[in-house]
Amino acid sequence: MIQKKLRAIAVALVLGTAAAATVGSLVVSAAEAGVRPAVGNPLKAAEAAAASGNYSQAMALVHQAEAVGGLSAEEQKDVAQMRDYISVKSGGSAGVFDADGAKAKFANDWRDRRYREVIQDGELLRKFGAMDSQSEEVIAQAYYLDGDYSGCIHAAGEGSSQGMLELRMRCAFEAHDTAAEHAALEDLVATTGKPEYWNQLIKLAQNAKGLSDHQSLDIYRIENLTGAMSTADDYSNLATLDLEFGLSSEAVTVLQKGMAAKALVDARAQRLLARAKQDQAADNASLANTAKNAYAAKNGDALVRLGEDYCGMGRYKDAVDAIQAGIKKGVSDPDNAQTRLGQALYGAGQKEAALKAFAKATTPNGQQVAHLWSLYVKAH
C-alpha cells in the first residue's frame, strides 16, 4: 500500500503538480505485520513532519527508527519507503535515495527555474539510472537558459534528435563558435535532409572567399538537387554558369525545371532558354568530333570538360570513362577533376567510389565544395 501511494506522489511531482498534498496518508501502523512500535511510531511522526514541511526533523525520525536495530524485512521496507516519501515530498531537498527522488528533484528544479540545479541533477539521474533522452534535452535547455552557451554546446552534443541539434546550433551561434554552428548544421542536414537546413549550409559555403566560378556552379548544383533552390535568380545563375562552361544540356534542364516550378516566368528566362536550346543543338551536332579531339589531346582537361557535359546529358558511364581517362593523362586542376569524377560516379550509382573521389580534393575551397557533395551523396 505504501509503495503504491509513494509511486503516485512521485509521478505527480514529476508532472509538476501539487498532488502530494492530496495523496492519502502513509502512516505506518504497528498493526502491520513485523513492524514494532519502536520503529512504526517514529516513522508515523516522520510522515507528519514531512507533511508540514519539516524535512530535517522527518529525516531525524527516520534515523531514530533505523537505529532501533534488528529490523525485520517489513521494517526495512517501511524505513526505505519513508525515506523515499520524504525525498519526493521535499523535491530532493532532504536527500535523494532512488530514481523517483532524483526525477522529483529534477522536475521541481525545472519548474522553479533553478537551471543550474537542473544541470547538477543530471548526475543524480545518471547515478540512479533515470537519465533518458528527454531529460538530456531538458538539461541542454537549462544550460541555454542559464546563459552557459559553451556548456549547452557540449550537453546538446550528446543527442542526435532534431531538437537537440537545433539547440546546439543556436547555442553555437550565441557563443560565436562558427565551427560548432557549422558542424551542428551539417548534422541537421545529414539527419533531416530538409531544404531549409541545406539552404543555410549552402549560404555559408557561398560566402567563402575566393570561390572560382566552377566551384560556385557546383554549389548551385547542390542547391538544385536538395530542393533548396527557389528563386528566379538561383535558377538563372546556375543556367548562366552552365552556358559559360559550355554545358548547354544541363542549362536547358535547369531552366525547364525553374519554369515548371513557376520560379522563372519572365521574358528574360524565355530568352535564356532559347539560347540554351540553340547551344544544345550545336553542341550535340559537334559532340562526336569534340569527343574525338578530347581523347586525342595530350592533356586531360578537354576530357574532364567532356565528362562534365556527359553528366548534364545523363550519360554518366561515358562521363566516368572520359574523366578517368583525362585524369590519367594529367590535368591542370586536380581538385576540379576529382569533383567531376565524384559527380559522374554518383550519377552512375557508384556512391563509395564517388566519396573517395571527393575526398581527394586538397585546396580549402575545393575541399569545402567536395564536402558538400559528400554530405549529399551519403544522404542519398
Residue 100 domain-assigned (yes or no) = yes
Same domain? 182 vs 215? no
Same domain? 274 vs 359? yes
Question: Is residue 40 within 8 Å of residue 55, measured between CB atoms?
Answer: no
* 98, 125, 152 - which closes a domain: 125
Same domain? 140 vs 187? yes
Residue 261 domain-assigned (yes or no) = yes
Residue 169 domain-assigned (yes or no) = yes
Residue 177 domain-assigned (yes or no) = yes
Same domain? 13 vs 121? yes
* 125, 147, 175 - which closes a domain: 125
Q: For residue 5, what pLDDT is reported?
A: 40
Per residue in 204-261, pLDDT (tens digit) is 899 889 999 999 999 999 999 999 998 999 999 999 999 999 999 999 999 999 999 9
Residue 278 domain-assigned (yes or no) = yes
Residue 295 domain-assigned (yes or no) = yes
Q: For residue 112, what pLDDT is reported?
A: 87
166: CATH: 1.25.40
Residue 204 domain-assigned (yes or no) = no
Same domain? 150 vs 284? no
How many angstroms separate the Cα of 173 from the Cα of each of 180, 181, 270? Answer: 8, 6, 42
Q: For residue 337, what pLDDT is reported?
A: 96
Same domain? 58 vs 153? no
Same domain? 224 vs 362? yes
Regions in the chain scoring below 50 on pLDDT: 1-25, 27, 29-31
Same domain? 42 vs 152? no
Same domain? 244 vs 313? yes
Residue 202 domain-assigned (yes or no) = no
Same domain? 253 vs 358? yes
* 125, 148, 168 - which closes a domain: 125
Same domain? 88 vs 221? no
Same domain? 322 vs 362? yes
Domain extent, residue 75, equals 2-125
Domains contained in the chain, number: 3
Q: What is the pTM of this model?
A: 0.71
